[in-house]
């Protein structure tokens, strides 16, 4: 609300005419009916090529508005103005736009790059702490997957990142967001369509998506929380394999996620535990299974993740069986 009024006032001061389309909060807005409403509203506002769609909001708004911009009049320019930490460091960068299908999330969409991403960290001051912490999981992900120095810096500075506000403190927040965006942009520039390296961004997401789906994509487990638990599982799973990350480094990665208050164990998730069969079915669904093998992002060390296409389902099953038995 406040942010919209500020944005509209800024546009008016600059002499830019605008119309607004307001969408209800929540993943449910990434749907066919809302997509249709927004397309019709954009067309009804007589938008023309050369005009702009501005996505002011979190990842839900960015994905929805970006997809609308991708298809209305066969493609309009759009700008992302992310208002959540997750949108700052993840969804606003990389050009993936989508709505959800009855068969799963993000199944109907397009690659459509924004012409600008305007990440104003002051917008995060109104974000509930739990949402901020959830988005932080993706920040930590960039350190874990490809930048050990950044991870070490996060271990030392996370409190300042969370505190935000104030001139000296906002430096840490801005730095964390800038490094994260650069990390994602560099990977996307190498592999926009996710045929190779872009898969590294899925660190923690195979286990994470299964947990998120088992919780019904509800408030019980936010996306970043699921990713944190998923990264902890990926670290532990990697540590069990010969020649990959050592147990001490895996524990270090997990310790940081736990220190900021993110879940790192299945037992940390509120409510009934999913069954092993349920998790395995969700993992098989999420991943391309090639010759009975699953693809996972595993870790050689902190800051060095890689794509492993030869993970046997029974190995994952044995591992998750142990994890589900923990309390």
For residue 184, the minimal CB distance to Zn ion (Å) is 11
Count of residues that bind ligand NAD according to CB under 6 A = 25
Name the closest residue to ligand NAD (Cβ). Answer: 59
Whose Cβ is closer to Zn ion: residue 38's or residue 227's? 227
CA distance 291 to 316: 15
Whose Cβ is closer to Zn ion: residue 210's or residue 227's? 227
Whose Cβ is closer to ligand NAD: residue 6's or residue 293's? 6
CA distance 224 to 232: 12
Question: Binding to ligand NAD by residue 63, rule CB under 6 A?
Answer: yes
40 token code pair: 């019709």
141 token code pair: 């992900």
Question: Binding to ligand NAD by residue 84, rule CB under 6 A?
Answer: yes
3-state secondary structure of 192: coil
Q: Which of 23, 30, 158, 226 binds ligand NAD (CB under 6 A)?
A: 30
137 token code pair: 């999981």
CA distance 241 to 300: 10
Instruction: Determine which one of 209, 256, 287, 323 is catalytic.
Output: 209
Q: Is 175 a catalytic residue?
A: no
Name the closest residue to Zn ion (Cβ). Answer: 227
Beta strands (DSSP E) in the chain are 52-57, 77-82, 96-101, 104-111, 116-117, 293-301, 304-312
CA distance 229 to 235: 10
Whose Cβ is closer to ligand NAD: residue 246's or residue 261's? 261
Residue ranges that bind Zn ion, judged by CB under 5 A: 227
Question: Binding to ligand NAD by residue 157, rule CB under 6 A?
Answer: no
Whose Cβ is closer to ligand NAD: residue 61's or residue 145's? 61
Question: Binding to ligand NAD by residue 106, rule CB under 6 A?
Answer: yes
Q: Is 205 a catalytic residue?
A: yes
Q: Is 291 a catalytic residue?
A: no
Instruction: Determine which one of 223, 256, 287, 323 is catalytic.
Output: 223
Residue 4, phi-psi category: left (phi > 0), alpha (psi -120 to 50), beta (remainder): alpha
3-state secondary structure of 245: coil
242 token code pair: 């010969």
203 — phi, psi (to 5°)? -50, 130
315: closest CA among 287, 296, 300, 288? 296
Question: Binding to ligand NAD by residue 238, rule CB under 6 A?
Answer: no
Catalytic residue numbers?
74, 96, 138, 184, 194, 198, 202, 205, 209, 223
Write out the residues near ligand NAD by the rule CB under 6 A.
25-27, 30, 57-61, 63, 83-84, 86-87, 90-91, 94, 96, 105-106, 123, 126-127, 131, 223
């Amino acid at each position: 609300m406040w942010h919209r009024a500020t944005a509209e006032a800024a546009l008016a001061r600059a002499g830019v005419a605008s119309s607004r389309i307001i969408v209800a909060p929540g993943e449910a807005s990434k749907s066919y009916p809302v997509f249709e409403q927004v397309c019709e509203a954009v067309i009804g506002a007589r938008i023309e090529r050369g005009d702009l769609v501005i996505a002011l909001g979190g990842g839900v708004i960015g994905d929805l508005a970006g997809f609308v911009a991708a298809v209305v009049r066969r493609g309009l320019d759009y700008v992302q103005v992310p208002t959540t930490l997750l949108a700052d460091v993840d969804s606003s960068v990389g050009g993936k736009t989508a709505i959800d299908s009855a068969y799963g999330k993000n199944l109907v969409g397009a690659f459509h790059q924004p012409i600008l991403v305007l990440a104003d960290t002051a917008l995060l001051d109104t974000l509930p702490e739990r949402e901020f912490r959830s988005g932080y999981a993706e920040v930590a992900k960039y350190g874990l997957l490809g930048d050990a120095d950044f991870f070490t810096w996060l271990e030392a500075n996370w409190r300042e990142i969370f505190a935000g506000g104030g001139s000296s403190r906002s430096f840490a927040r801005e730095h964390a967001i800038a490094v994260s965006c650069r990390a994602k942009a560099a990977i996307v520039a190498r592999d926009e369509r996710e045929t190779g390296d872009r898969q590294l961004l899925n660190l923690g997401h195979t286990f994470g998506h299964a947990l998120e789906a088992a919780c019904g994509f509800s408030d019980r487990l936010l996306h970043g929380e699921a990713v944190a638990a998923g990264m902890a599982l990926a670290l532990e799973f990697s540590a069990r394999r010969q020649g990959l990350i050592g147990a001490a480094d895996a524990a270090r990665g997990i310790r940081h996620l736990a220190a900021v208050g993110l879940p790192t164990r299945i037992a940390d998730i509120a409510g009934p535990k999913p069954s092993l069969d349920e998790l395995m079915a969700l993992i098989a669904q999420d991943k391309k299974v090639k010759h009975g093998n699953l693809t996972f992002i595993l870790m050689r060390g902190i800051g060095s993740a890689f794509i492993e296409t030869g993970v046997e389902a029974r190995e994952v099953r044995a591992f998750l069986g142990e994890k589900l038995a923990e309390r």
